[in-house]
Amino acid sequence: MDNYLINILGPTAIGKTALSIKIARHFQTEIISADSRQFFKEMRIGTAVPENEELEAAPHHFIQHISIEDTYSVGDFEREALAKLEKLFLQHKAVVMAGGSGLYVKAINEGLNEFPEVDPAIRQNLNEHLEKDGIDWLQKKLFVLDPEYYKTADVQNPHRLIRALEICIETGKPFSTYLNQDKPERNFKSIQVGLTADREIIYDRINRRVDIMIKNGLVEEARKLYSRKDLNALNTVGYKELFQYFEGNTDLEMAISEIKKNTRRFAKRQLTWFRKDENIKWFNYDDPVENMIEYLEKQINT
């Protein structure tokens, strides 16, 4: 394979955007964003969309290209991003992909499993149980229907629980049986670079980023979106906490504190996901970029 997809991975606020731009400029190539919340054009501040000068420093794709009103799945992203990569590889030997949405990264590198269509009524019923009975009900249900998947699932993520349960209920088979299908071939080799740091540093970077978001107008951005708060895209850290503030359920200081806390939890889940992948070469967030480029050059030229 003569084509290489350079994946820049890691938790939120670790510095993936800055690194991906430096690497893209070194290889004179372009960047695919695999951050599933930066896709939405209405959510600029709360998703830390790269600044204009960053976007101009290297060509970016899949940044603010759809609306929160659009239905857009990881399958849609897989199809569109692979088509874009096919075109980019005609011009570049290597392309950079950056993002912390593990499932979206997996879709591009390995392909998604083929799941059957599900009756929307099943999903609606599960969402009603979540609202009425809480996440515990979903967790117990999954443990009964698919104890194998329960062992490895992110059981604190209601969307993942509902996705697994709706497949179990629709098909009468465990969700895990759909996870062992043959993956499609890719016409590129994947190189994965992960950025990490001590937990205290990651948490401090997150806290400071949230403060910057607030200063840059996150509250005002969220207020403009409040009337559409029930859209799936807006069930996102940074917005849902402010919606609680708008509804009088908390004060602003507490809402900001919750954003920081929930973002820290999200970063922990990201690291848990990525650390399961033995193919990721980890670097400390403040390692010289030259070290990472040297590693990439060796991978590409051997």
Binding annotation for ATP: 10-17
Closest by CA to 237, choosing from 168, 159, 302, 182, is 159
Structural contact between residues 40 and 231, judged by C-beta atoms closer than 8 angstroms: no
Element (H, E) at 221: helix 218-225
Conformation bin of residue 48: beta by default, left when phi > 0, alpha when psi is -120 to 50 = left
Residues ≥6 apart with Cβ < 8 Å to 227: none
Cβ-based burial of 138 (10 A; exposed 0-12, middle 13-18, buried ≥19): buried
Residues ≥6 apart with Cβ < 8 Å to 179: 113, 149
CA distances from 110 to 58, 78, 83, 175 (A): 26, 10, 15, 18
Dig out the tokens for 112 from the structure: 């998604």
Structural contact between residues 6 and 296, judged by C-beta atoms closer than 8 angstroms: yes
Cβ-based burial of 54 (10 A; exposed 0-12, middle 13-18, buried ≥19): middle
Residue numbers in the known binding site for substrate are 12-17
Dig out the tokens for 126 from the structure: 């599960």
Residue numbers in the known binding site are 10-17
User: Max CA-CA distance within the chain?
Assistant: 60
